Amino acid sequence: MFWVWKQACGDPQNGIGPTGNGLETVDCATGRDLPRDPVKAAELSRAYPRAVPGVLTALSSSPATGTAPRALTLEGTAGSGSCRLDLWVPGDVRPSPLVRNITDLTLRQVPGGWRIGGCATGPYRLTL
């Protein structure tokens, strides 16, 4: 989770320096927006599950770095309720998920990334 809160220049909660240390920084002298911090932006570019059925038993996600693509692995055990699985994957490159016990897999490109959906049953796993 990341809280985006834009403080006024000079506010002590804005962090150190004349521009603060948030994701969205401002040149206080001109009011001009400055480039995003690349480390924070990369950290926020991780793929993540929006909805999973049953109990999520394992989750790991890493942002794209250098030549390494972003990655996500999730495992869970679906119960007798909904089988709905919904993931968000940022970026333009179409993901190539490897799945176990997930049917009706869909990949849909949306602004800023991809939505992956499917129906998970029993012990399931998805890896990007």
Q: What is the pLDDT of residues 80-109, one digit of tens each?
A: 888 999 999 988 889 999 999 999 999 999
For residue 124, pLDDT over 90 is answered with: yes
**39 located within any domain:** no
Looking at residue 21, its pLDDT comes to 64
| 95 within domain boundaries | yes
Does residue 106 form part of some domain? yes
Q: What share of the chain is helix, strand, coil (3-state, %, to 5)?
A: 5, 45, 50
Tell me if 90 is assigned to some domain: yes
Average pLDDT over residues 44-66: 86
Backbone φ and ψ of 75, nearest 5°: -135, 145
In this structure, are residues 106 and 118 in contact, taking their beta carbons and an 8 Å threshold?
Answer: yes
Instruction: Domain count for the chain, please give it.
Output: 1
Whether 2 is covered by a domain: the verdict is no
Residues spanned by the domain of 80 = 46-127
Asked if the structure places residue 115 within a domain, the reply is: yes
Mean of pLDDT over the chain: 83
